Structure 1
Amino acid sequence: MGEAIDVKDHLYLASIVFEHSSDGILITDASAIIISVNPAFTRVTGYRSQEVVGKTPRILRSGKQPPAFYYHMWRLLKEKGSWQGEVWNRRKNGDVYLEWLRITAIKDRMGRVVYYMAVFADITEREQLRNELLQTAKIQRDLLPAPLEDDRLRLKSIYRPYRYVSGDLYGYKWTRDKTKLFGFLIDVMGHGVATALQTSGLRILFRQAFESSRSLAERLAYINHEAMCLFTDESFAAAICFEIDFTTHTLTYASAGITYFLAYTGQVEGLIKASGMFLGIMDGVQYEQHELAFGSGDRFFFLTDGLFDMLPLSFAGEGKGSFRSTVEMLERMAYSKECSDDASAICLQIR
């Protein structure tokens, strides 16, 4: 058994924690008069101890919260003995900053409040990063094409980022004479802003491929060549592109790393294997393209890994159901708690 720590040792340890804590600490008496602050308080606020001791924490108020905010904070503090939340405060130089604040009432043996201790961390930079992620996510969503309306085709899309921004993206566009629809689905490895930038770069390359008269395989090879500069040695992307020709009634596809899609036509039902090297790994790769004939009522489902990996073994058979029910099933999977990746899909039915 170790020796018990006596009161002096407790006080010594507490003083060490107080002095060296990376969080700001402020202690007031029961009347909310500041009696002590630690060095981290000074680093965050700019106020030295002698400038705030004897005053109230109102010296830090930014004016961004209304009086009702502080009324509710103090009411909960008195009722429950503690309060925590985000607060906008002001440094000595006038800069406003966001902090995560926890206030605890310290009571004596009779249950009377004798001190209040406030511990806070500057989270301004974290909030700025979060806002930048939200703005990036909004830009990504704005890049998605508008819903497609056409008498020859039903198209439903799914787009569900796992964390704010997505490594997935899709697009589609008619040729000028509206006899062909070109589309693509992208799935970049990873998460975060860097992945979102890579996805946006690939989107530009695929949109350039809209205007090309070359075959799908040649267009995919060109995209891979141009995309080499977007990726490091540890990153890459999967993609699949397709072209629906309403003159020849054929769907042509070429794949780069998306190994399967679902098709339900008069000739095939269920999983279709689509092989091809990932984008951004090796230059000079040659891709294959394949063709499927289609007729009225035929359906095609192109999925990224976030959705495909969740498919039950029975799904290929379940996909024989109505187009609407299949899309709804995929949407439920994409937005379920079990989905642990970006999840996107392009779902097509020929009318």
Structure 2
Amino acid sequence: MDHRGNNDDLHKLLTSSNVVYSVFQGMKEGLVITDINANILNVNQAYCTITGYSVQELIGKNLNIIKSNLHDQAFYRELWKRITSEGRWEGEIWNRHKSGRLFLQKLSIIAVRDKQDTINQYVGVVSDISEEEKLRKDIVRTGMLQRTLLPSPMNIKMLEIETVFRPLNYLGGDFFDYYWDPEKRILSGYIIDIMGHGVTASFQNSVLRVLFRQNFDHNRTLVEVLKTINQESMSYFLEDTFAAALCFRINLEDGLLTYACAGINKFIKCQSNGKLKVIKQPGPYLGILSDPVFDEITEEIKMGELLFFMTDGFMDIFEMNNPLYANDLKGYMNKLRRISISDLKDDASAIGVLVKQVGGG
């Protein structure tokens, strides 16, 4: 959007109207007006605060006074090319504060044209987004750390495990874990889904992860585990948050699958003949009721069967659009990995287990 007027129109407007001048000085965004050579004609107080310079130190100086030298000449050539051809440029740029520190700013530059359609001034609108960038980097790092807490894939004589973790943003409200007991030949695991996304949800699922690790004992039933976790987790949940979970034990010595549902109320079982079965079992969410009733179900598991434990982000898509064929664990999980983030409406996680051997053979 170009602005047209006489060379001094903008300056006159800013100084002649109390209303316009008050808006100019009162904006939280920094405003800077320059001539065509980027020499500063006027600034508001917010611009002084962002850059550290006073009005007197800025007027008449070139914008190079805050240049960071972090961007190459190609960056600036593209910037001015865009302003000349389109009348404006928007983006992020690193500049240098009077103190010497670097800061990241969101910048919009608008070309002002005179009545002959010649550019004679530029107006810059500036916001310091250094803190937002720092927060974003912290969130990205935390998301990377969250991934390191997830278990690695497993491929041993009796079973194979593949996993997928797809947070909607950098941090996810999903989490999963599993433990293999080679002596008892039991795989124990769980998958959880916190309502919501981002930092709060990731903190709450970290709490649940600790509680599951503390309570996931072979000597306790899954119902006992869920009841204890429900009770202890309630003090960590806000009034409007809760968690869904499913925990399981696969006893490969006896060929038995035991599971208990707490909000994640279905999973997929693909039999060795390729027949797909969606197993559904009701169960209350964690963190809502003080004394919920959970059920523990046990059924037979056979060699060659596949189990998929998923959060909502994957379950609906996988159920509708992905026909299953037995023994192709990696193929199924790769399908999940290829699902576009734009097609996901929620954080999405999955544990896939291929049973390769049952019994002592």
Q: Against the structure 1 CA distance between its residues 176 and 224, is the aligned structure 2 distance closer, same or farther, given a 3 Å change threshold?
A: farther
Q: Partner amino acid for 1:343?
A: A
**Higher mean displacement: 258-267 or 228-237:** 258-267
After superposing the two structures, state which structure 1 stretch, 17-26 or 28-37, moved more. 17-26
- Give the Å deviation of 1:190: 0.6
* In structure 2, distance between residues paired with 1:72 and 1:328: 40
Q: Counterpart of 1:82?
A: 88
Contact 2:87–2:110 (CA under 8 A) maintained in structure 1:
yes
- Are 2:257 and 1:251 aligned? yes
Structure 1: give runs of 5+ residues left out of the alignment.
1-6
CA deviation after TM superposition for structure 1 residue 306, in Å: 1.1
Q: Corresponding residue for 2:292?
A: 285
Match of 2:127 among 90, 108, 121: 121
Structure 1 residue 338 and structure 2 residue 343: aligned? yes
How does the TM-score come out when normalised to structure 2? 0.86
Residue aligned with 1:309, SS: helix
Alignment of 1:151 with 2:157, yes or no, is yes
Shift of 1:304: 0.5
- Deviation (angstroms), 1:14: 4.9
Identity %: 37
Q: 1:266·1:294 contact (CA, 8 Å) conserved in 2? A: no
Match of 1:107 among 106, 113, 118: 113
Maintained 8 Å contact 1:257/1:276: yes
Work out whether 1:273 is the aligned partner of 2:292: no
Question: 1:117 and 1:214 mapped to 2: Cα distance?
Answer: 69
Which residue number in structure 2 is paired with residue 303 of structure 1?
A: 310
TM-score under structure 1 length normalisation: 0.88
User: Cα 1:68–1:328, aligned 2, differ >3 Å: closer, same or farther?
Assistant: closer
1:177 partner amino acid: E
* SS in structure 2 of the partner of residue 119 of structure 1: strand
The answer as to 2:137 corresponding to 1:131 is yes
**Which residue of structure 1 lines up, in the alignment, with residue 353 of structure 2?**
348
Runs of 4+ in 1 over 6 A off after TM superposition: 7-11
User: What is the letter of the counterpart of residue 292 of structure 1?
Assistant: E
Instruction: Between 40-49 and 77-86, report the one with greater CA deviation.
Output: 77-86
Q: Is the 8 A contact 2:270 2:326 kept in 1?
A: no
Matches of 1:147 and 1:312, distance apart in 2? 23
State the shift of 1:189 in Å.
Answer: 0.4
Deviation at 1:238, TM superposition (A): 0.5
State the Cα distance separating 1:229 from its structure 2 match. Answer: 1.7
Give RMSD over aligned pairs. 2.6
User: For residue 173 of structure 1, what is the amino acid of its counterpart?
Assistant: Y
Distance 2:75 2:272 in 1: 65
Give 1:108 deviation, angstroms: 2.0
Q: Which runs of 5 or more structure 2 residues have no equivalent in the other structure? A: 1-8, 357-361
Give the length in aligned residue pairs.
342
Cα offset, 1:15, TM superposition: 4.0
8 Å CA contact 1:263–1:270 kept in 2: the answer is yes
**Does structure 1 conserve the Cα–Cα contact (< 8 Å) formed by 2:306 and 2:327?**
no
In structure 2, the residue corresponding to 1:182 is in which secondary structure?
strand
Shifted more, 141-150 versus 82-91: the winner is 82-91
Residues 148-187 of structure 1 mapped to structure 2, 5 A cutoff: 148-175=154-181, 177=183, 179-187=185-193
Match of 1:4 in 2: none
C-alpha deviation, 1:46, in angstroms: 2.7
